[in-house]
Each structure stands twice: as C-alpha cells, then as structure tokens.
Amino acid sequence: MKKKLLIVESPAKIKTISKFLGDDFRIMSTVGHIKDLPKKELGVSINGTIDIKYVAMENKDKVIADICKAASVSDQIFLAPDPDREGEIIAWHAEQEILKVVKDKNKIKRITFNEITKPAILEAVENPFDVDMKKVAAQQARRVLDRWVGYEVSPVLWKKIAKGLSAGRVQSVALKMICDRETTIREFKPEEYWSIAGQFEHQAGSITAMLSEINKKKIDIKSKEQSDKILKDIDKVDFSISEIKDKDRTRNPFAPFMTSTLQQAAFNSLGYTVKKTMTIAQKLYEGMPLQDENTPVALITYMRTDSKRISDTALTQTRSYIGKHFDKNYLPSKANLYAKDSKKTQDAHEAIRPIDVEITPSIAKMYLPKDAAKLYELIWRRFVACQMTPALYAQRQVVINGDKFTFKATGSTLLFDGFLKVYKPEESTASENPAEGSEDGEQKSTELPKNIKAQDSLDLAKIDPKQHFTQPPAKYTEGSLVKEMEKEGIGRPSTYATILSTIESRKYVTLDAKKKFTPTELGFTVTNMLTENLPKIMNIKFTALMEQDLDLVAKGEMERDTLLREFYDVFKVDLEKFAGKDGKGKDKKALQTEVLCPDCKKHHLSIRFGKTGEFLGCMGYPECKFTCNFERTEDGKIQCVETKEPEVLEEKCPQCGKNLREMRGRFGMFIACSGYPECKYIKKNYAKFKCPLDEGEVVEKKWRGGKMWGCANYPKCKFAIFGDIEETPCPQCKKFKFLVKKVNAKGEVTLMCYDKTCGYKIKKD
C-alpha cells in the first residue's frame, strides 16, 4: 500500500512527477482551487475581527472527499500546489479539509519546487515545512479586497448603467488607463515642425547629416517660412568637418524573462495574447512529451515570477553550454547576474528559464506543437543570451559646420555580435534597454566614410527639408498595457491575462486589426462613473500602494485585518454615496451629448446602453422617442448615423414561408424571419464542408468573445475552431477542406492547416 500522499495543483503534473518518486507515493491533484468565497453572498463580515466564509467550489466535493480518503490511510502528506500565494491558499484549504480525518497535524507538510525535475522534487520532499500563513493572509487580503469591489460595486453599475457589468479593483484601473490614453489621443493637437537633412560630398564618400543647431542653439523650425529662410541662408555657406568622435559602445544582454517581460516579448515577437502565452507556458512547466509520447518532460521553470534570480546549477550548465558551442569570446569571465527590484519582487522564485539548455529549440521543434515550440525557443534564446558577452559597436559622430549652421551624422558598425548571435529582440522590445538609440535624437546612418578627418572641406550636394507633425501617444496593445501596469505597480503579472480577458468580454474595449485597444462608450461611461464616485479605488497610485501593502502582509510586516480595515473605512463611505442611502441609486445613467434631438429640437441626445449595444436617445423620453445609432469622429465628436431598417430579403423562411430579413443583434448582423415573434427562425451560416470528426454540419456561431465554427452535433462532437476560416482546401496535405485564419498583433493575416502535423502556413496579402 502507498503510504505517502503528494497533492499537486494541476493534474497535468501527475505524470511528470510520478516518474521521479517511488512506488510508495500516491500523487493526487486539487485541480486548481477547491474552496472560495460563496457565489451568492458576500462571504466577508466585519465584527471584532474580519471573518471570511469559505465553501467548497462547484464540482469539488468529490475531489475533496477523494483527497481526504487517501490522506486518512497515509503516513505522510505533502502539499505541493504552485509556489505562489494562490498555491499557498490551495495548500491551506487542502490542509483544513485533511485535518478533519487526520488528527496528527505533523503528518501534513508543505513543499514547493520551481522546476519539475527529479533533483528539485527529491530536495523538496527532503525539506518540507509548514504552510506559510503570512502568504495565506496576503492571498486572503487580495481576495477580500477584490470581493468587496466586485460584489458591492457591480450591482450599482447594473442599476445605473446596464445589467451584466462588472467592476474590479485592478480591472477598473486598467480600463481607466486605456480610457485616459484614448482621451489624450482625441484631445491631442498636432504641432508642425520641420527637419532639414543635408547630403555632403567628400572624396571618401557621401555623408547625410541632420541640421541640429543654429548659432549653437538646438533647432526649432515651426513653419515652411522659417524653413525656406534657413535654406536660403544655407545656400551661401561653405561647410567643413569640425569634429569626428569615435568611440566603442557596448549593448548588454537582456535579463532573463520574468512573467511580465515574457508576456510583452511573446506579444511583440510572436503575436501571442497574454492569455495564450500563459496557457502555453503552463504546459511547458508542467511537462510535454518529447521522444516518448507517454513520458512528459518539464521544459521550463515556474512561469509566474517577478524575479531575475538564476540558480547556481543553471548558471553552471548554461556557461558550460556556451563554452562548448561558441567561441571563447562569447563567454564572459564570470556569470552575468541581474539585480532584483526590491520594491516589486514578490517571491524568491527564479527567472523563467529552460530546465535543460541541452534541449535546444531545434530539438523542441521536432516534438512540440508549433506554438509551444516558438515560445520555448523565445525563452531558451533569451536565457542563453543573458549569460553571453555584450555586443560591441564602433560608433562615429561627424560634426559639420558652416558659419552658424551645425549638422550632425551618427553612424554605427557592429564589431562583435556577442549575445545578439543567439537573441535578436524585435525592435518593439528594444525599449526594455532604455539606453539604446541615437544620441540627442539625431538621425542614425548605418555607415559613414572612414577616410575623413577634421577640417576636411565638404560640398553640399543636396538639401532636403521635410514637414512633420507631432504625434499623439499610441493606443495600448496587450503588450504595452502590461508594460505600463508593471511600471505603475498595478496588479501582478499572474493576474494580467484575466484582467485583459474581462475588460474585452464585458465590451468595455474593442481590438482593431493591429490588436490595439479602443474603449467603447460603455467603457468610458463605467470609467467616468467609477472615477467620479469611487476616486480612491480608481487612483493608480493608491492601487499600487495596495500591492505594496499586500507584499508587507506576505512578509509578516503588516496585519491582514489592518490593511482591510483601512481600505474598507474609506470604501464604505464612497460606496454609500454612490449607491444612495437606500442602496438603489438613481435612474440609469444617461450620458448627455451636445447633439440636439433632430425630432423635438428641445432636448439633447444621450448615450444609452441596450441589449444590442450603444445608441443615442432623446432625453425628452417618453414624450420624444427618437433614437439613432451613432459614431465618433476622429476628434471625439459624436454624430448620428442613419439607422438602417431591417432589410427584407427575397428568401423565404423554411418554417413559416414569410420573407427573411437582415437584423442587427448583440453580436452583429444576422438573418431571421420577419414573422417574429410568432416565428423565431434564425438562419444559420453553414460551412460547405462537413465536420472532419463525425460528418455533421459545421455552423458559424457568434458569442461575446467573437466568432467560432463548430459541429452542429455539439456537445456529442467537440469539433471547434475559435476564430475565422477560409474555405480553401489545404494544398499540402489535402486532408481538410478549409484553412484556419489567424491575425497577429501587426494585423497580418496567416492561413494555416488545421492539422498541426501538416504544418502548412502562408501569409495572406
């Protein structure tokens, strides 16, 4: 009989871990959280203390019963959920349940490991400890804070705006950041400015330089008239080289990934959403099969971390790998170490790294699904590169003078690629190293002539003035929003995927073809209402301070209830004002616009929110019933657009014989019977091919999250494609009569075969 019980969080780990432990171990899984606050009540009461009510989560009674039954006949019980605060609360909940059947608490111990390898597992089992109640308290504090905001604010939004809305302590602040950015963009007033480039000829070659100073003052050319006058004066001047500055510049390798930087790099380089990145990373951590399909191998360390720490074992292995596979110049004399940010680093985990650098990307590609192989390669390359030498550039700046005019040209030549041999980051991720880029904003040329010297005369062959306009800040993408949230200390990287999914699913934002966020009118209305009525929880600095306080609770430097009481004392006052003393609040919010009602010409139109989306309605309702759809112009002004009447089609309803008509619904356009409500027929869009699993019809479905295609025989058949398709047979394997259509962060469309083993992929123009 197995006398030892090890309890993990995810069932996917069981197979990976089981091969490291003896036959006397039984491994079971909690399958995530087993207990939480109740769904239909607040679950938090403030008496002398703050009491939290936990109940078994839906469908977890059997899981709990099975774990307790196994624990009752075990000599030792090891609680091994993930090594973070969420994992700690799962371990504590499991312990509380097990103590109902196991009276000796000393039999129950907590273990953690950052990687699923035999040495790490055996070391963890040899060094067990008690559940960390300080981490438990920190998780409880976060959960209670989120419950107070979500449970008590959301119903007020239902009454004041529309049903189904939600507020969140971090979610609402993230939405506010998107709305504030959009407001800045709409209010932005472009300013004209001009640049002047000169092409100078020397017998050694051409030099293109930018005008940088006039009378030793930085240029500030605001109009064509100014530019023309400068051009006229430049035409009379002789030029020569006044100074040449040569220096070597190093570019240091990037630190290994932590959660937030992995999410940003995967978005920028691979077009992966934050959710997709974390889902794949979880699988790489838990284990995926390589040579042996029945034996999963853990490929990376724990992926929820804000640490840059690297274990001595990993450093030794990686430096050995670099020494064997690269010239000696690529290996620094000692290991590169990366300082932690003590204010933001939450736990003493390692950075995200490959467990075994000998499993190279080329090996991973042979066995892993394509998406997983790409993410593994990104992690592998970033980590190996972090232990290599810097790249070395020869940088030359040429200063050209003529009378009062100063032109500058900067050129850079790569002398030694160093870490760039392994990891070449996308241009969009280069901002992680803020020192990169040209000096003083000058234009950088790739090459400058070598055989030139100070005092050499130059001929001005061409002068090129260009008009420019200042640009507003860019809209947020998932990658840039994660970066900003991390910079501001908002939320934790492990929560970003959920936050972004929520604000999208609630229709607070939309994503354009380039995956950029635009807040909807609903998003703006919710944000403005919460900012006006609950200023504290919508304040970015206050939210960041709450994160720091949660860290103090986890360290035992602040009491859980002290943090919660300080928050609730302020929150309760604001909430009561927001909801109204009777708790009902006022009538639903009508966001008044400057547009006068074209029908009654007495009242303004207001933005309202219905089942089919946003619309304008007269504030004189019910006397005036005018409504219309609307759009915003680029400068943010609202204007009515003609409301399209349902188009009656010649096609007849197959159920009642009446004409069909095209309608607009919650998820876009659809075709339904004109005899509604007597006839409720809705036309479905069927694919021309049959389901490849059971030959059933394949039908298009629209939902809050977007579009999908699935078998009409669901739930018996689970065939589904989330996203869009093109009904073109795969030209490579010819197995399927359609291709899956994917759009990346840059808006580029790729068509690929549904069968991952086929691997067919092509970019669409």
How large is the average pLDDT for residues 257-271? 94
The token duo for 345 is: 């680093």
The secondary structure of residue 582, as a DSSP letter, is T
How large is the average pLDDT for residues 624-642? 80
In CATH, which of 1.10.460.10, 3.20.20.150, 3.40.190.10, 1.20.58.340 is domain 140-188+475-579?
1.10.460.10
Using alpha carbons, select from 233, 157, 215 the residue that is nearest to residue 533: 157
Using alpha carbons, select from 410, 380, 379 the residue that is nearest to residue 393: 410
Region of residue 118 (left: phi > 0; alpha: psi -120 to 50; beta: else)? alpha
pLDDT per position as a tens digit, 124-168: 999 999 999 999 999 999 999 999 999 999 999 988 888 888 899
- Which residues lie closer than 8 Å to 200 by C-beta, 6 or more apart? 206, 207, 208, 209, 239, 400, 407, 458, 459, 460, 461
- Which residues lie closer than 8 Å to 652 by C-beta, 6 or more apart? 658, 659, 660
pLDDT per position as a tens digit, 169-184: 999 999 999 999 999 9
Tell me how many degrees the CA angle 239-240-245 measures, rounded to the nearest 5. 135
How large is the average pLDDT for residues 598-616? 82
In CATH, which of 3.90.1210.10, 3.90.180.10, 3.40.640.10, 1.10.290.10 is domain 264-385?
1.10.290.10
CB 75 within 8 A of CB 4: yes
- Which residues lie closer than 8 Å to 56 by C-beta, 6 or more apart? 34, 35, 64
- Mean pLDDT estimate for the chain: 88
d(CA 164, CA 613): 13
- Whether 441 has a pLDDT exceeding 50, the answer reads no
- Whether 17 has a pLDDT exceeding 80, the answer reads yes
pLDDT band for position 434 (cuts 50, 70, 90) = very low
pLDDT band for position 583 (cuts 50, 70, 90) = very low
Domain at 192-252+391-469: CATH architecture:
Distorted Sandwich (2.70)
How large is the average pLDDT for residues 584-608? 76
How large is the average pLDDT for residues 240-263? 94
How large is the average pLDDT for residues 437-458? 68
The helix/strand/coil state of 604 is strand
The token duo for 125 is: 């089992």
d(CA 229, CA 405): 13
- Whether 495 has a pLDDT exceeding 70, the answer reads yes
d(CA 240, CA 201): 10
Confirm whether 140-188+475-579 and 192-252+391-469 share one CATH topology.
Answer: no
In this structure, of 120-129, 222-231, 400-409, 487-496, the range with the lowest mean pLDDT score is 487-496
CA distances to 400, 508, 599, 621, 678 from 629, in Å? 59, 18, 15, 16, 27
d(CA 595, CA 356): 64
Strand partners, 199: 208, 462
User: Which one is predicted more confidently, 725 or 634?
Assistant: 725
Percentage of the chain modeled with pLDDT above 70: 92
CATH class of the domain whose range is 4-131: alpha beta
- Which residues lie closer than 8 Å to 566 by C-beta, 6 or more apart? none
Count the helices and strands in the chain (H runs, E runs). 17, 36
d(CA 141, CA 135): 10
d(CA 113, CA 127): 11
β-pairing, 239-251 vs 391-402, is antiparallel
- Whether 567 has a pLDDT exceeding 90, the answer reads yes
pLDDT per position as a tens digit, 115-125: 999 999 999 99
How large is the average pLDDT for residues 13-31? 92
CB 278 within 8 A of CB 263: yes
Strand partners, 208: 199
pLDDT per position as a tens digit, 41-86: 999 999 878 999 999 999 899 999 999 999 999 999 999 999 999 9
CB neighbour class for 44 (10 Å; exposed up to 12, middle 13-18, buried from 19): buried
Q: What is the pLDDT of residue 427?
A: 41
Peptide bond into 369 cis (omega under 30): no
The secondary structure of residue 631, as a DSSP letter, is E
CB 280 within 8 A of CB 371: yes
The token duo for 567 is: 């928050």
CA distances to 9, 10, 16, 296, 354 from 13, in Å? 8, 6, 5, 9, 17
Q: What is the pLDDT of residue 432?
A: 43
d(CA 152, CA 43): 12
- Whether 442 has a pLDDT exceeding 60, the answer reads no
- Whether 667 has a pLDDT exceeding 70, the answer reads no
**1 membership: H or E segment, kind and range:** none
The DSSP result for 660-714, as a single string, is EEEEEETTEEEEEETTTTT---B---EEEEE-TTT--EEEEEEETTEEEEEETTT
d(CA 751, CA 455): 58
CB 128 within 8 A of CB 78: yes
First-to-last CA distance in the chain?
Answer: 63
Side chain identity, residue 445: S
The DSSP result for 393-414, as a single string, is EEEEEEEEEETTEEEEEEEEEE
Which residues are part of the catalytic machinery?
Answer: 302
Using alpha carbons, select from 317, 257, 322 the residue that is nearest to residue 284: 257
**325 membership: H or E segment, kind and range:** helix 312-325
Q: Where exactly are the structural domains of the chain?
A: 4-131, 140-188+475-579, 192-252+391-469, 264-385, 591-641
CB 272 within 8 A of CB 428: no
d(CA 282, CA 12): 10
The secondary structure of residue 326, as a DSSP letter, is S
How large is the average pLDDT for residues 563-582? 86
d(CA 627, CA 597): 9
pLDDT band for position 433 (cuts 50, 70, 90) = very low
Tokens 């790099």 -> residue: 265
pTM of the model: 0.78
Using alpha carbons, select from 51, 109, 45 the residue that is nearest to residue 78: 109
CA distances to 308, 407, 425, 465 from 339, in Å? 7, 40, 21, 46
